[in-house]
Amino acid sequence: MISRRDFIRLSLLAGAGAGLGVGTVRAQETAGPRSRWVFLVDTMKCVGCGLCVKACKLENEVPYDLPVTRTWVERYVITGEGQISVDGKGRSVEAGTVFADTPMGARDGYKQNVFHNYTELGSNVVVPPDMIAKSFFVPKLCNQCDKPPCVQVCPVGATFKTADGVVLVDRTWCIGCGYCIMACPYGVRFFHPVYRVAEKCTWCYHRIVKGMKPACVMACPFEARRFGEANKPDDPVAQVVETDRVAVLKPEFGTRPLVYYLGLDENVR
């Protein structure tokens, strides 16, 4: 018969042993050089040329003439108080009215100061130059969240996060239910019209594992998009993220995005 004292001593020992075992297994899993990539978007530098969107579509075989895209550039124009032109007719607006659009994901860039077929007003909106208080472009792409909601909702295990931090979709296993498309707070996912599965930005996984830059980063002439490795202390992008005033999109969702923005405005949603 085992005494109470012995029983407690044994169970404490067993517990400590089990804890130690789990600890060593964890350590083995995380050991070894693993890339932890990080993406930096400098909205102060973006000119809205859309070369990134073009490069992304061609690199990743996203149907070029359909309104789907893995990355896009948004245009924001914030007005002062006064008159804007809606279909050639004047209309007065309050100070701080926000106009934002991204026609075809800005695949062909922005060439005119016109919001064509503006959704809320259903017509062409022109904000005259002297009425523009703020105006800027914001490139968007998958944030490769550290806690991706799109992965949690997948009922079949078709989308997942790799050890190096990129969220991918298994095209042969996806059933096209669309839960992940609705779960993404950033609207990054879409339904691929050819493969009939969920599609998303992969940070050009096939390029970055070969040491290349993602296609959009390569195509950007103004270094508005930058790419680096977070676990290398001398990486210039990692240093900016570490030392500069960066922000992420929708931090209130708790998704912990890995895309950091410089010069993010409060009007960017």
Partner 1 sequence: MKSYVLRPLYVVIAFVCIILLARVFVVPKDFGIGERGFMYGWHRKGAEDFWRNFKVKYQTREYCEGCHAQKYETIMASPHAIIQCENCHGPAVDHPVKPEKLTIDRRRDLCLRCHAYLPYPTSGRRVIPPINNDEHYPDTECVQCHNPHSPGF
Q: Which residues of this chain interact with partner 1, rule CB under 8 A?
A: 29, 44-51, 54-55, 58-60, 77, 108-113, 129, 132, 134-137, 147-148, 151-152, 157-163, 168-173, 202, 205-207, 209-210, 212-213, 215, 218-219, 221-222, 224
**Cβ proximity to partner 1, 49 vs 142, nearer residue:** 49
Residue 115 CB burial class (10 angstroms; 0-12, 13-18, ≥19): buried
Structure tokens belonging to residue 163: 């050890």
Name the minimum Å distance from CB 67 to partner 1.
19
Strand, coil or helix: 251: helix
Name the minimum Å distance from CB 239 to partner 1.
22
Q: What are phi and psi of 45, to 5 degrees?
A: -95, -20
**Cβ proximity to partner 1, 194 vs 209, nearer residue:** 209
**Cβ proximity to partner 1, 5 vs 57, nearer residue:** 57
**Cβ proximity to partner 1, 46 vs 259, nearer residue:** 46
Name the minimum Å distance from CB 156 to partner 1.
9
Taking each continuous run of H as one helix and of E as one strand, the counts in the chain are: 7, 15
Closest CA to 149 of 163, 159, 140, 141: 159
Name the minimum Å distance from CB 104 to partner 1.
13
- Between CA 63 and CA 193 the distance in angstroms is 8
CA 56 to chain centroid: 14
**Cβ proximity to partner 1, 13 vs 22, nearer residue:** 22
